[in-house]
């Protein structure tokens, strides 16, 4: 379990409904705001951040280099490198794993990792328009479904596969509805108890200045951090661009100050305190004869999450108490439809590598791609379903696909801290039949 990577801070936006409270904000604006808050919570100079890795799945229309956009919007320096990662639902988690590898290898000391998604702003695509149409109708393609929710190999929406796999594995509609109901109740109770205050950074969404966030003071762009030089005055870094060739925050910043009307969003919008089994039972399955419904699967959502990661040496030198240690990551792959199997496979691979048993893990978070996925993961590992996702999960809170992996990692961190320490595992499935798991120690 030797590792050099620790968590200095985490922050996430609340998660919003499709077309809901956060829908005016782009994915990179949500990502930038999560990064900004995470750095502020870490209490470090933004200049110290050397690299940013952000997951983002539905990239059509988001613009060039989404992670770089988010870094600039967060006020990071022009010398902060950034890369965007797409492993569908696992993107945010894998961003954290990649950051750990960079830090453990000594390539970086401070990295921000996370994920972001605005499914509300996913565009519609017009395939074939580039070369033109000669005769007949054309098809408009929903980028949200095509790039995030559609199985390329069997050519169908993943919810249909989820229902068939649930039937094969004996996960009934009643079990799925019961778990979904509990997810809403747990998430609502966690909000009311203030458990999400360490995770969520409230966001003031401007009601008239569309696409803007209202803040008390505009972020000050961090100063550039030049790598160790060689060559003295003839260094290749000796360059001062003219003003009109420098990125101007006034042109891209999502932040405004002053007397601007806004709505504060501080809770996950999809969570239903009034959820009932009776109402869930009345919902039609997404497929005839299936068991997956709009009630026992997550919605399509908007949101972002970020973690500030650093080497343990850096934390010690700067007198920062680390929240947790990122111990290790494991990934697996299986037949594309079997999303329900791969989170448990990845978690088992991780435990086997470190000689651990399920009893050694104090906190479990399985992303609720469907209720049946979390139930199957628990069953495969011999876990009581009441012992997983104790603060609720994606069925209740939402699943902005690029961000969810980072959210559940941060959730494990804060749950472990509240209980006084221990080991935790966050595990997630992703389109194409892959699974990832991350081991965290507090």
Nearest to 235 by CA among 227, 243, 246: 227
Residue 354: pLDDT over 70: yes
**Cβ–Cβ < 8 Å for 51, 82:** yes
| Distance, CA of 112 to CA of 110 (rounded, Å) | 7
Sign, Cα dihedral of 65, 71, 77, 79: negative
Work out the pLDDT band at 404, boundaries 50, 70, 90. Answer: very high
Integer distance in angstroms from the first to the last C-alpha of the chain?
Answer: 12
What is the DSSP code (8-state) at residue 117? E
CATH numbers and ranges of domains, the chain: 5-121+155-209+263-441 (3.40.47.10)
Contact 148, 57 (CB under 8 A): yes
Show Cβ contacts of residue 167 under 8 Å, excluding neighbours closer than 6 positions: 290, 291
Average pLDDT over residues 89-99: 98
pLDDT tens for each residue of 269-291: 999 999 999 999 999 998 888 99
What pTM value is reported for the model? 0.96
Burial class, 40, CB count within 10 angstroms (exposed 0-12 / middle 13-18 / buried 19+): middle
Is residue 110 very low, low, confident or very high in pLDDT (cuts 50, 70, 90)? Answer: very high
| Per-residue CA distances from 150 to 56, 88, 94, 210 (Å) | 16, 11, 21, 31
CA–CA dist 106, 94 (Å, integer): 18
**Alpha-carbon torsion (19, 427, 411, 100), positive or negative:** negative
Instruction: Give me the mean pLDDT over the 214-219 stretch.
Output: 94
pLDDT given at position 288: 87
Q: Which range, of 60-74, 183-197, 219-233, 399-413, averages the lowest pLDDT?
A: 219-233
Q: Which residues are catalytic?
A: 89, 399, 429
Half-sphere exposure of 219 (CA within 13 A, CB side): 28
> Apex CA 225: angle with CA 29 and CA 253, to 5°?
20
Question: Would you give the DSSP letter of residue 113?
Answer: E
């Amino acid at each position: 379990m030797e590792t050099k990577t620790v968590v200095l801070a985490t922050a996430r936006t609340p998660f919003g409904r499709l077309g809901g409270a956060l829908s005016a904000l782009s994915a990179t604006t949500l990502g930038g705001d999560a990064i900004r808050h995470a750095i502020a919570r870490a209490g470090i100079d933004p200049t110290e951040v050397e690299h940013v890795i952000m997951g983002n799945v539905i990239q059509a229309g988001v613009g060039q280099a989404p992670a770089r956009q988010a870094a600039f919007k967060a006020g990071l320096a022009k010398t902060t490198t950034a890369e965007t990662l797409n492993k569908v639902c696992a993107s945010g988690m894998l961003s954290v794993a990649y950051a750990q590898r960079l830090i453990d290898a000594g390539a970086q000391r401070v990295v921000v990792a996370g994920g972001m998604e605005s499914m509300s702003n996913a565009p519609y695509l017009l395939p074939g328009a580039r070369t033109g149409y000669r005769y007949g109708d054309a098809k408009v393609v929903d980028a949200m479904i095509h790039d995030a929710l559609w199985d390329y190999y069997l050519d169908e929406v993943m919810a249909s596969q989820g229902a068939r796999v649930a039937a094969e594995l004996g996960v009934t509609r009643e079990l799925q509805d019961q778990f979904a109901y509990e997810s809403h109740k747990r998430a609502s109770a966690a909000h009311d108890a203030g458990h999400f205050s360490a995770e969520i950074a409230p966001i003031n969404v401007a009601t008239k200045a569309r696409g803007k966030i209202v803040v008390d003071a505009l972020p000050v762009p961090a100063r550039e951090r030049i790598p160790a030089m060689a060559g003295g005055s003839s260094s290749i870094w000796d360059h001062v661009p003219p003003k009109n060739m420098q990125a101007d925050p006034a042109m891209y910043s999502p932040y405004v100050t002053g007397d601007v009307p806004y709505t504060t969003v501080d809770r996950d919008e999809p969570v239903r305190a009034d959820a009932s089994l009776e109402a869930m039972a009345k919902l039609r399955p997404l497929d005839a004869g299936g068991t997956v419904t709009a009630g026992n699967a997550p919605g399509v959502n908007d949101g972002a999450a970020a973690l500030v990661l650093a080497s343990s040496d850096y934390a010690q030198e700067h007198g920062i108490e680390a929240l947790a240690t990122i111990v290790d990551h494991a990934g697996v792959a299986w037949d594309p439809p079997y999303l329900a199997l791969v989170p448990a496979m990845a978690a088992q691979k991780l435990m086997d590598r470190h000689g651990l048993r399920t009893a050694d893990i104090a906190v479990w978070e399985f992303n609720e791609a469907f209720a049946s996925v979390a139930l199957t993961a628990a069953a495969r590992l011999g876990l009581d379903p009441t012992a997983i996702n104790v603060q609720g999960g994606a069925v209740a809170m939402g699943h902005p696909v690029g961000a969810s992996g980072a959210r559940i990692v941060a959730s494990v961190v804060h749950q472990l801290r509240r209980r006084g320490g221990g080991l935790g595992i966050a595990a997630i499935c992703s389109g194409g039949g892959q699974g990832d798991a991350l081991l965290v120690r507090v």
